[in-house]
Amino acid sequence: MNIQHRSTRPFSDQRPGTSGLRKKVKVFQQPHYLENFVQSIFDTQTDLRGGTLVVGGDGRFYNREAIQVILRMAAANGVAKVMVGQGGLLSTPATSCVIRKYHTQGGIILSASHNPGGPDEDFGIKFNVPNGGPAPENVTEAIYRRTREIDSYKTLEADDIDLDTLGSVALGELQVDIIDPVDDYASLMQALFDFDAIHQLFNSGLFQMKFDAMHAITGPYAKRILIKMLGAEPETVINGTPLPDFGGGHPDPNLTHAHQLVELASGPDAVDFAAASDGDGDRNMILGKNFFVTPSDSLAVLAANAHLVPGYRRGLAGVARSMPTSQAVDRVADALGIECYETPTGWKFFGNLLDAGRITLCGEESFGTGSNHVREKDGLWAVLFWLNLLAVRHQSVATIVREHWKRYGRNFYTRYDYEAVDKDAAEGLMDHLRSRLGDLPGAALGHYKVEYADDFAYTDPVDGSRSERQGIRIGFEDGSRIVYRLSGTGTEGATLRVYLEAYAPDPAKHNLETAEVMQPLVLIAQELAEIEQRTGRKEPTVIT
Ligand code: VG1
Ligand code: CO
């Protein structure tokens, strides 16, 4: 088998976003496009030569083809061993788990997460570093710089290998291990949670659950862990077979896209507990009987109850949330006397804090929750955490959350997304907001008085690295906030995200409808940013 040096030319659009490089499949299918990015990883991550790499994806269209390309290039670039999930499948958190467990030199994850899949939809690629987490900005920048100057890549002339049979095969000098994608992850979960208590809960006959895998990666994980190991009924897992186009849907676990699950958790016959995960298995949505838990509240509840779970019995070192995530967890940290860090959006910003032992739990408003057990957010982990709490507290999801609000106050929360808006219009809107930051403090907007207004910047407390322009924050005197950001994961135009939070300490207000409570803030947010004038959008595309 022969190593080939193929000449190529740089593409100008390979700067990774919030979570790797995401583009339409058609973009990835251009000659040399994937190869250029992969070679840029090998050129900059020199420990991979002679080292071990983990490779897997969420099973979406082009997953298998991309893996074959990566394997041939790994062989030509002197990687000693690649561990691939059987069928090319590995969830994002499971990839992180495998990288850490086997002390590999990193991993490549093929996914566009919650974005739809199929020949006309999205694909993505992301490099994770040896701690198991998404590459920090200095690494993604180095890879990006390399993509701008690349003139050749190395590959092996070889046939495709069989990705479906467990075991070890050789590809030139490279050893390819096809591993079970679920085993290592399932053992880790067993080490963290009280599986006996959860098993009893399922066995009690008094508890009904549905898990929606949305035809994405978590199907095999949920079937193994919930049904086989924990004894849940086989019907518990719905949409449990990964499909290349996710059955035509958005594998995005929110009230809009997981409507089938929402129906199962609504009405008089609702199940007690329902949950969903996204394309690559790192997100989660938690529902009780006729009850939606906002991701920000979920993080706060997990933090407040962590001592009830075996893996966190010794308490939390600290917690962190992304800037737009509600401040609910801040109040828990205060009560526990631990630090709460506010980081820019994207899981890569939690990595240093986790590695340094400064935090144990962290989360994002975008349906992401996780801990120091891996270096990615972890959908099924959050579901098992909730199951463990339900099993030991013997209370419903709604009761647990309501009791939480009673103690800490309620942070009403909503996010408005304006998808695929004109890029220049979106950037103009952000610039306009930036230009107004100086006049806002002290101003009255409706009933709200502005306490501070800034463009969020973050200095990593561990390595001192600085990240600027991470979103406009407007904080009001009563603790409410409006946040504006442009998405870094979209593949079409720009997506404007508007995050709104209203704090209600008074229990008399806890039963109000979110939409009603948020309405005044929505109007202020729309007006302040001139959303309709600048984008032509009266209404958002998605409200979560
Ligand atoms: C979105 C979310 C962010 C999350 C990121 C990756 O990014 O807002 O919180 O970390 O997706 O999640 P953006 O830049 O579009 O707002 V995943 O499940 O796609 O890895
Ligand atoms: Co995801």
**Joined tokens for residue 282:** 């790192």
pTM: 0.94
Q: Give the ligand whose atoms come closest to the C-alpha of residue 367.
A: 1
Helices H / strands E in the chain, number of each? 17, 27
Contact 343/325 with Cβ under 8 angstroms? no
Same domain, 15 and 155: yes
Same domain, 153 and 234: no
Same domain, 360 and 420: no
389: helix, coil or strand?
helix
Q: What CA–CA distance (Å, rounded) separates 378 from 320?
A: 15
Of 408, 438, 461, the position where a domain reaches its end is 408
Same domain, 203 and 171: no
Only one residue has tokens 């959008």, namely 537
By alpha-carbon position, which residue is closest to atom 1 of ligand 1?
489
Give distance in angstroms: CA of 259 to centre of ligand 1.
21
Give distance in angstroms: CA of 489 to centre of ligand 1.
6
- Residue-range definition of the domain harbouring residue 92: 3-180
CATH of the domain at 396: 3.40.120.10
- Per DSSP, the residues of 485-508 read EE-SS-SSSEEEEEEEEEEE--GG
92 Cα nearest atom in ligand 1: 20
Mean of per-residue pLDDT scores for the chain:
95
* C-alpha separations of 25 from 2, 115, 492 in Å: 29, 11, 12
489 Cα nearest atom in ligand 1: 15
Cβ-proximal residues to 524 (8 Å cutoff; 6+ apart), any chain = 445, 446, 448, 482
Task: Provide residues with CB under 6 Å of ligand 1.
Answer: 18-19, 113-114, 278, 282-283, 322, 345-347, 364, 366, 368, 487-489, 497
Please, what are the averages of pLDDT over each run of 10 residues along the chain (544 residues)?
A: 91 89 96 98 97 97 98 98 98 98 98 94 96 93 96 96 97 97 98 98 95 97 98 97 93 92 94 97 97 97 98 97 97 98 95 97 97 98 98 97 97 95 95 93 91 95 94 94 90 91 93 92 94 92 90
Of 467, 468, 472, nearest to 433 by C-alpha is 472
Only one residue has tokens 């032992």, namely 357
Same domain, 308 and 341: yes
Same domain, 72 and 99: yes
pLDDT of residue 221: 98
Catalytic residues: 113
Same domain, 404 and 415: no
Domain count, the chain: 3
Give distance in angstroms: CA of 435 to centre of ligand 1.
26
Give distance in angstroms: CA of 281 to centre of ligand 2.
6
Burial grade of 516 (CB within 10 A; 0-12, 13-18, 19 or more) = exposed
Of 374, 408, 442, the position where a domain reaches its end is 408
**Joined tokens for residue 363:** 């989360």
pLDDT of residue 45: 97
Same domain, 398 and 268: yes
